[in-house]
Amino acid sequence: MQRAERALDAAADDGTNPEVVDSGTAYVGSGLDKSFPASGEKPYRLDITCDTDKVEELTLTLSRGEEEQAYGLGCGDRQADQFNLPAGKPFAAHVDPDHHGTGLIAWRLHTVAPGDVDGCDDDIDGCED
């Protein structure tokens, strides 16, 4: 748990002053299936990591309605992965359970100032380079 917290803290320490609006953990063996209302006017950033000895990577699927995007989520990384999502559009995060691994998935949902969105502003819809 401490390594996961450090990875989440490292992701939040990027000079943007994100405001935590929700956070949680799930066991790798149970997976993650969480919906977020994403209400308000500020964009959101989901910081997520996994800490397990037996699994190197999990698949995170972000979805909104019919749209979905899958990402590899490296376990044990020093900094949590970050995903940008616009306000006003509910979304879900899903990680399939991995019954071979022990450990946890930890996440924090933040709001950020519009000017602090780094890269693509909607990691579900995607952005053209």
- Number of alpha carbons in the 13 Å side-chain half-sphere of residue 87: 12
For residue 128, being part of any structural domain is answered with no
Q: What token pair was written down for 120? A: 């693509």
Give the domain extent around 30.
2-115
Task: Give the pLDDT score at 53.
Answer: 79
Whether 123 is covered by a domain: the verdict is no
| 27 falls within a domain | yes
Does the pLDDT value for residue 117 go beyond 80? Answer: yes
50 within some domain: yes
In a domain, 22, yes or no: yes
Write down the pTM of the prediction. 0.88
Beta pairing class for 81-85 and 44-51: antiparallel
Percent share of the chain, pLDDT over 70: 88
Q: 23 pLDDT band (50/70/90 cuts)?
A: very high
Q: What is the CATH number of the domain that holds 47?
A: 2.60.120.1300
Identity at 47, one-letter amino acid code: D
Between these two residues, 61 and 3, which has the higher pLDDT value?
Answer: 61
Express each pLDDT in 37-56 by its tens digit: 999 899 999 999 998 878 88
In this prediction, residue 50 carries a pLDDT of: 92
Nearest to 74 by CA among 60, 56, 47: 56
Report whether pLDDT(17) > 90. Answer: no
Query: Average pLDDT, stretch 94-116?
Result: 89
Nearest alpha-carbon partner for 34 in 61, 8, 56: 61
**CA quadruple 107, 46, 3, 57: dihedral positive or negative?**
positive
Question: Position 98: which residue type?
Answer: D
30 in a domain, yes or no? yes
Residue 29 CA, chain-centre distance (Å), reads 18
Give the mean pLDDT of 83-88.
Answer: 93
Q: 121 in a domain, yes or no?
A: no
Q: Is 124 within a domain?
A: no
Domains identified in the chain, total number: 1
